[in-house]
Structure 1
Amino acid sequence: MSEIEKRPISVEDIYNIAYVEEPSVSPDGRWIAYVHVTVDRTENEYRRNIWLAPTDGGKPIQITRGGKDTSPRWSPDGGTLAFVSTRNEKPQVYLLPVKEPGGEARPLTSMPNGATNPAWSPDGSRIAFLSPVNAEEREKEDRGEEAAPPEDKFEARQQKERRAYEEEKRWDPRLVWRIPYRSGTSYLDDRYAQIYVMPVAEGLEGDEARPRRLTDLDADYAQPVWTPDGEYILTARAAEPDGDEPWRTSSLYRIRVADGAEERLTDDSHTDSTPLPSPDGRWIAYRRFPEAKYFEILRLTIIPSEGGEPHDLTLEADLELAESVRPWANFKWTADSSALIFNANSWGNVEVYRVTVADGSIETIISGRMAVEELDLGPQGGIAFTASMPTNPSELFWMPPEADEPEQVSEVNKKFLDEVIVQETHELRFRGPDGLELQGWYLLPVGYEEGKTYPLAFNIHGGPHVMWGPSARTMWHEWQFHAARGYVVFYCNPRGSGGYGRAFRDSIHAAWGENAFPDLMAGVDALLEKGFVDPERMAVTGGSYGGFMTAWVVGHTDRFVAAVSQRGVYSLISFYGTSDIPSLISAEFDVEPWEAPEFLWKHSPLAYAHRIKTPLLLIHAENDFRVPIEQAEQLFALVRRSGGTVKLVRYPREGHELSRSGEPRHRVSRLNWMIEWFDTYCMPQKEE
């Protein structure tokens, strides 16, 4: 299709964009298993199926069709894929033979509360997995009373209905005894993820056929990982599981498979997670983060396999590991155990690096205008990874051993991209008020004509220590959509953002609004100097910390004619008492609310609500337990009662991830509310 025949991207294209997730290279290096994500418009849901892509350049093939399949894991011999499916509501581990096409998946687990995070033993005879259970259920298991669902379908349905009724009754009324007691979009209960081991052979009977639980604590265990000798399982859990916010410090543990004996490998001074043993068994690599110090950078660290003094491999280079989108390691050992491959944030891109264990030397091996999200390493050193780019929101890539450049092996968005106009992303370097170099990007509107001026949609990222760049997958469609509707789109990384080193991240400590605001305005001023933005038609928006800054901006300047603040923090004091991460406030501002309420109020956008004269649209999810909706309710009330123009859009059933993974129809609705609000004040001629 020629460029003339292509159409602008629309809000409805949410239904047309596909994504690639969870690449996993087969033991022989010939195949990459991955999850292909699409949107089902009719059912208003996402569909996830597992595909196989050959690394020699052949065409990918689909191997599951249930629409609810994730977490592909190769058996050591490459003949079977374990995966997790919710095709029968509760997640369970399934096994699919892949040596011959057309094999049928069989369920391995039938855990009453579900099973996730499968991990093959080195000899392929067993799989470790996680399943949440409470103390009473663990006691029943120990007595042999917790049986699998009945084989009779009628009896199984009756048992399921009885369990659902008993579960509802058990939490009416709901007792709260810990902090946090909510997470995501739901309340936490008294169940904790425990590690189980189960044989994969068919035809076993009695105890040999049942899963065996290795752990027995009121603590959530993380992804299990086998040691190369098959004798131990590595994991992480809260160092103090009985305390509030137990995740603030977590330690690595080694669990003996034979008897469940648990040995602690790291202390409680940091948040340690995602352990990964080296192939030779000498080392354990993991992610390390100082206790709840959000301004610190995430480090790649190693310790001896028996435990010992940690050695940070990336700290001296001031290199920040990219946040993993999965609960397992997003770094890999080379086959000879001499180095680790990982992705890290750097000046707007997410690149792939190699660090040598012996001397700590670091080299970049995959770079450019892309954001590498997930990666896996083949046996000969080839790298499979998923990435987004300015011209494509998601694809799968393969960089063969010894190659200099990666190859794209999927085309999940080819049909869509062949039909639409994709606007180029331009970099803008500018200076903050103190001369600090800052980085931003802009998109020109579809149909742009030199000499004309256009309205601006200024976007502010969340975090606060997030990094945006030209390949930000979660914003790709939104920015292209705003450009298609006639807006110049601008976003930048003010001080406090990730990707520019520890000092840059820490530069908004105890001063979120004051220190970032001048950088944001400097970015807008630099863009205005280019002459294509109409200064009388500028809108501002952001989510989470970006919502905080949106409210802060319009409370401190009237240069914007419209604002859309989403899932924002507006009162640091009440956020502390209602969020599932209250320690964010004490870590970022060095005080508890009772110690300095006036200080926290001064640093809250709510304190300046009476100044807001910019028409303000608030968007918030009713089940957002990260930033509860009371934040939006307070800002709405204060702006309204002080004479401002404000509306609040509330989304039922949704949480903090509404814009990224909420119900598709809600995501479409959200974008429509935003663009209509922008158009009302930035393009009033459309309303006539």
Structure 2
Amino acid sequence: MTSESQSTPFSSLDDYIALPRVEGLTLSPDGVRVVLTVATLTRDRTTYERALWSVCSDGTGVPIRLTRSAKGESGAAFTAAGDVLFVSSRPDAAAEKDTEAAQLWLLPAGGGEARAITRLAGGVSGIAAVAAIAPSLVIAADLLPSATDLESDGVARKERADKKVAAILHESYPVRYWDHDLGPAEPHLLALDLADLQDTVTLPDSDSDRASDGDSDRASDSDTDAPAPYPADLPRPRDLTPTPGRTMDTAGQALTPDGSTLIVARRIAEQRSARYVLVSIDVSTGIQTTLFNEPKVDFESPAVSLDGRLIAFVRSAVSTPHGPADQEIWVADLDGGHPRRLAAEWDRWPTSLVFDAPHGGAPGESNPALIVTADHNGRGPIFRVPLDGGAPEQLTTDDFTYTNVCVDAQTGDLVALRSSWIAPAHPVRISRSGTIITLATPAALTDVPGTITEIETLAEDGTRVRAWLLLPDGASAQHPAPLLLWIHGGPLNSWNAWSWRWSPLLAVARGYAVLLPDPALSTGYGLEFIARGWNAWGAKPYTDLLAITDAAEARPEIDATLTAAMGGSFGGYMANWVAGHTDRFRAIVSHASLWSLDQFAGTTDNSEYWQSIFSPQGMVDNSPHQAVRDIVTPMLVIHGDHDYRVPIGESLRLWSELAEHHATADGSTQHKFLFFPDENHWVLKPQHAVLWYQTVFAFLDQHVHGADWNRPRLLG
């Protein structure tokens, strides 16, 4: 069913996947430039390539492209001198051969070509932290456990590659994460001093270098096997975390402005689980000092003040089946002294925190604070949390969610990305007066179909439940639209920001109204709202969804006889639960869903967490598979084989049990199973995303509108 709205990029799946996407933002030390990471569709339309763009931070000018390479760039950061750092697997002309391992690159502020400033055999995982006033930084990189230095790591990797060995010996839990196997390499944090970077003219080896005593044809085995020395013209990375195991799977790290001290949320293994403690690492010596360490408590997301004297972090007790733990904001001296909690009465969970500029308060006053983002009432505002214990001040009051927030140390203004369900991420500047200026971007905002409004209702226990409702153009009492209930994942999450993976506008462009509710367990409404669904996923989260669906269906623009439900991850769990407990929906789409909680809890990539938040009885009472015999609604099951968060076994068992209880004698069924052998928890490849939506819309049209089944052509 196609809406009568004007054509937009959301009317065509091919046009939609071709929209450029802003994925990152960083601000220069002088506050003048913003560098954006922008993803664009490749010419063959099968993947995305990423490039860095520079825009003025005051809203003037036009975007300037900084990088071009087939491999793309990511993880941009500025050095103290204003050079741009990024990670890329583009070829390094100075290397003897292209290993395709991602390295750290530097684009000089004064102009010129970018150059690789690392040459690690296993590559660079990312930029961990950069000093604000010193030429030093810390990178994350994986090294094999047998390696004693960078050179021996290269030798060991080459031997494994030459002999095509992929086996991994595990000696601790976990063994995989999200979509990839862990090991055999272990995560390290390596310090780099950019003062050691040299610019030299490299001469080819002379004959005397290549041969000894006139014999250039014979080389001893020891010479052949000798590891190549790390390049002398590059700053040699210094390992701050030798023999780390998995301890440097960190929960964040921050470097003091002078580069002397690294604060790390370090992982400590505990049998099958883990928790995070806060440690200080002396960059010159590598000596680690534990600052905060409490049983059954996590310390995460450290930040360092602009003067290097204070640290801020998030402290949270480990949740249990009895209820969720709060996430608290704390500050302390750099050495861990004088710790104190901020905003103790504020029950919003921080999603990011940075220190405000010293002059961030009223003119002429020193009013130090943190700049914090948090989910709040279906949005993601920016807050200012005073260090003196005062109440948080909400700085943005619009319908957007803000991420990648940077503080301009020169003016105290903020630069960030913001998005909503009708506007993808785009850069803005927020002045101290609250004025917001939209910055230039190569990914210009486009027209979108339909309208968005906010609705709410009271749940059965009297709690307010709210949602975003997107309506297609032309929806009215005379021409009511079919309703698609779209349930978010998490479950500790909120429908408050743009997602390229989940785009309700694609359904709106096809005439569907889309309901995006925040039921019990959603963030942004306080700890008590989360606790309503704790250890009881099938209880109030379910009744909240039905109550807000009732409210949407009562509107004259909605056709209450034509409704469907869908969701992914926890939303997929909820879709399965809905399927087994009501017949009110005409179709249900279940993506990457939890089906049997006892099975899932032992096979997911972090089994201890999931088993710790459910009681044994709660896991039984809230498992969707218990109601498989009661399912009457047609279901589209979708899963990727590389999904380690919700392993494929969940959907395999769901599909098997649907067939066991509901297939006809000849094996036919009203249900369908869309399987992606090479996708993970999400479906990320552009053409696979097109197939995902084609299949979903064909399935919905079949069962909501009674259309003939239209099998997507590329499914064979």
Q: Same fold (TM over 0.5)?
A: yes
How far apart in 2 are the matches of 1:457 and 1:163?
A: 50
1:129 aligned partner: 139
TM-aligned CA deviation for residue 607 of structure 1 = 0.6
Structure 1's 311 and 657: CA in aligned 2 closer, same or farther, altered over 3 A?
farther
Q: How far apart are the structure 2 equivalents of 1:4 and 1:526?
A: 28
Could you tell me which amino acid in structure 2 is paired with residue 619 of structure 1? I
Residue 221 of structure 2 corresponds to none
Deviation at 1:445, TM superposition (A): 2.2
CA contact (8 A) 2:56 2:440 kept: no
1:99 paired with 2:110, answer yes
2:642 paired with 1:642: no
Q: Which segment is superposed worse, 13-22 or 57-66? A: 13-22
Pair 125,426 (structure 1): closer, same or farther in 2 beyond 3 Å: closer
Cα distance in 2 for partners of 1:5, 1:576 equals 45
Q: Report the counterpart of residue 363 of structure 1 in structure 2.
A: 393
> Within 2, Cα distance between the matches of 1:563 and 1:17?
28
Q: Counterpart in 2 of 1:111?
A: 120
User: CA shift at 1:307, angstroms?
Assistant: 1.3
1:394 shift after superposition: 1.8
Q: In the alignment, what sits opposite 1:431? A: 458
Shift of 1:279: 2.1
3-state SS of the aligned residue for 2:122?
coil
Corresponding residue for residue 226 of structure 2: none
Q: Tell me the alpha carbon deviations over residues 70-128 of structure 1, each in whole angstroms, 9 at most, x when there is no partner.
A: 122212132x111111224322111111233xx20010101111112153345533332
Q: Is the 8 A contact 2:298 2:318 kept in 1?
A: yes
Q: 1:459 maps to which residue?
A: 486
Residue pair 1:185, 1:625 contacting (<8 A) in 2 also? yes
Q: SS of the counterpart of 1:491?
A: strand
1:347 & 1:560 partners in 2: Cα distance? 27
Measured at CA, do residues 65 and 292 of structure 1 come closer, stay the same or move farther in structure 2, by a change above 3 Å?
Answer: farther
Q: Deviations over 1:572-626 (max 9, x none)?
A: 10011100121333332234xxxx5xx5233100010111010011001111000
Taking structure 1 as reference, are residues 6 and 22 closer, same or farther at Cα in structure 2, changes over 3 Å only?
A: closer
In the TM superposition, residue 372 of structure 1 has moved relative to its aligned partner by: 0.9
Instruction: Name the aligned partner's letter for residue 284 of structure 1.
Output: I
Change (3 A) 1:670 1:113: same
CA deviation vs aligned residue, 1:640-665 (integer Å, no higher than 9, x gap): 1111532211111111132xxx1111
Residue of structure 2 in register with 1:385 after alignment:
416
Aligned to 1:657: 682
**Among 59, 63, 70, the residue aligned to 2:62:** 59
Q: Matches of residues 108-507 of structure 1 in structure 2 within 5 Å? A: 108-115=117-124, 116-137=126-147, 139-141=148-150, 145-146=152-153, 163-166=160-163, 168-171=164-167, 174-200=168-194, 201-203=196-198, 206=232, 209-216=235-242, 217-221=244-248, 222=250, 224-240=253-269, 243-246=271-274, 249-269=275-295, 270-292=297-319, 295-308=324-337, 310-322=339-351, 330-335=353-358, 338-379=368-409, 380-400=411-431, 402-414=432-444, 417-418=446-447, 421-469=448-496, 471-474=497-500, 478-507=503-532
Shift of 1:297: 4.1
Contact 1:332 1:376 in 2 (8 A): no
- How far is the alpha carbon of 1:26 from its aligned partner? 1.2
Residue 17 (structure 1) aligns with:
19
Q: Is the 8 A contact 1:460 1:491 kept in 2?
A: yes
Whether 1:85 aligns to 2:88 is: yes
Q: Which moved more, 1:268-277 or 1:218-227?
A: 218-227
Q: Which amino acid aligns with 1:564?
A: V
Q: Per the alignment, in what secondary structure is the counterpart of residue 668 of structure 1?
A: helix
* CA deviation string 1:442-462 (max 9, x = no partner): 122234344223321111111
> Structure 1 unaligned runs (5+)?
150-158, 325-329
**Relative to structure 2, which stretch is displaced further, 195-204 or 578-587?**
195-204
Quote the offset at 1:424 in angstroms. Answer: 1.2
Deviation at 1:198, TM superposition (A): 2.2
Matches of 2:458 and 2:325, distance apart in 1: 24
Partner of 2:538: 513
CA distance in 2, matches of 1:207, 1:259: 23
Counterpart secondary structure, 2:165: helix
**Paired residues of 1:199 and 1:208 also in contact (CA < 8 A):** no
Q: What amino acid is the match of 1:49? A: A
Paired with 1:678 and 1:466, the residues of 2 have a C-alpha distance of 26
The Cα of 1:257 is off from its aligned counterpart by: 1.7
Contact in 2 for aligned 1:219/1:237 (Cα 8 Å): no
Structure having the higher Rg: 2
Using the alignment, how far apart are the partners of 1:233 and 1:525 within structure 2? 52
CA distance in 1, matches of 2:72, 2:316: 33
Match of 2:629 in 1: 610
Tell me the distance in 2 between the aligned counterparts of 1:41 and 1:676: 27
Cα offset, 1:134, TM superposition? 2.8
Which whole-Å deviations, capped at 9, do the CAs of 1:405-461 have from their partners, x for residues lacking one?
2111134443x725xx42211111111112211101212223434422332111111
How many angstroms does 1:465 deviate by? 1.5
CA contact (8 A) 2:501 2:682 kept: no
* 1:549 Cα offset (Å): 0.7
Task: Report the residue type matching 2:438 in the other structure.
Answer: Q
Separation (CA, whole Å) in 1 of partners of 2:527 and 2:31: 37
Which whole-Å CA distance do the structure 2 matches of 1:206 and 1:444 have between them? Answer: 62
SS in 2 for 1:169: coil
Change (3 A) 1:8 1:177: closer
Cα contact 1:392–1:413 (8 A) shared by 2: no
Contact 1:195–1:224 (8 Å) recurs in 2: no
Q: Residue 206 of structure 1: CA displacement?
A: 5.0
Identity fraction in percent: 27
Change over 3 Å in CA distance of 1:406–1:99 after alignment to 2: farther
Give the letter aligned to residue 72 of structure 2.
K
Change in CA separation of 1:558 and 1:411 when aligned onto 2, cut-off 3 Å: same
SS in 1 for 2:546: helix
Given the two structures, how large is their TM-score scaled by the length of structure 1? 0.88
The answer (yes or no) to whether the contact 1:496–1:506 under 8 Å persists in 2 is yes
Read off the aligned partner of 1:333 and give its amino acid letter: D
SS of the residue corresponding to residue 468 of structure 2 reads strand
TM-score with structure 2 length normalisation? 0.85
**Aligned mates of 2:562, 2:5 — CA distance in 1:** 29
Deviation, structure 1 residue 669: 0.9
Quote the Cα distance in structure 1 between the aligned partners of 2:23 and 2:76: 10
For residues 547-593 of structure 1, give each alpha carbon's deviation from its aligned partner in whole angstroms, at most 9, with x where no partner exists: 111111110110111110010111110011100121333332234xx
* Greater helix share, structure number: 1
Aligned length: 644
SS of the aligned residue for 1:631 comes to helix
Instruction: Give the distance between the partners of 1:331 and 1:203, measured in 2 at CA.
Output: 33
Aligned counterpart for 1:627 among listed residues 638, 646, 649: 646
Match for residue 682 of structure 1?
704
Separation in 2, partners of 1:41, 1:671: 21
